[in-house]
């Protein structure tokens, strides 16, 4: 994250002091149980359909005639 977004995930955004990892939760069912216990949804948000590209981008330009 630091190389791509210039964000240090181990630095506190408020005081800029060091943060430490308290836990790493690996099994998905455990993470789901923790989220539901906190009243949060364990399901990811729905994926939005892709946006349609305007048809004008695919239509040939009338000024570009192959004459």
Which pLDDT value is given to residue 20?
Answer: 86
pTM greater than 0.75 (yes/no): no
The answer to whether residue 67 is domain-embedded is no
The answer to whether residue 56 is domain-embedded is no
Contact 46, 40 (CB under 8 A): no
The answer to whether residue 55 is domain-embedded is no
The answer to whether residue 64 is domain-embedded is no
The answer to whether residue 28 is domain-embedded is yes
Cα(23)–Cα(15) distance, integer angstroms: 21
| Domain that includes residue 5, residue range | 1-38
Query: Could you give the number of structural domains in the chain?
Result: 1
- The conformation of residue 64, written as its DSSP 8-state character, comes to -
The answer to whether residue 62 is domain-embedded is no
The answer to whether residue 14 is domain-embedded is yes
Q: Tens of pLDDT along the chain (67 residues)?
A: 777 778 888 888 899 899 888 888 888 899 899 999 999 998 888 998 887 766 656 666 666 665 5
């Amino acid at each position: 994250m630091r190389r791509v977004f210039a964000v240090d995930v181990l630095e506190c955004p408020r005081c800029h002091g060091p943060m430490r990892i308290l836990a790493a939760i690996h099994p998905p069912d455990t993470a789901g149980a923790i989220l539901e216990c906190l009243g949060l949804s364990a399901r990811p948000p729905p994926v939005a359909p892709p946006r349609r590209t305007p048809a004008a981008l695919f239509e040939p330009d009338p000024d570009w005639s192959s004459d």
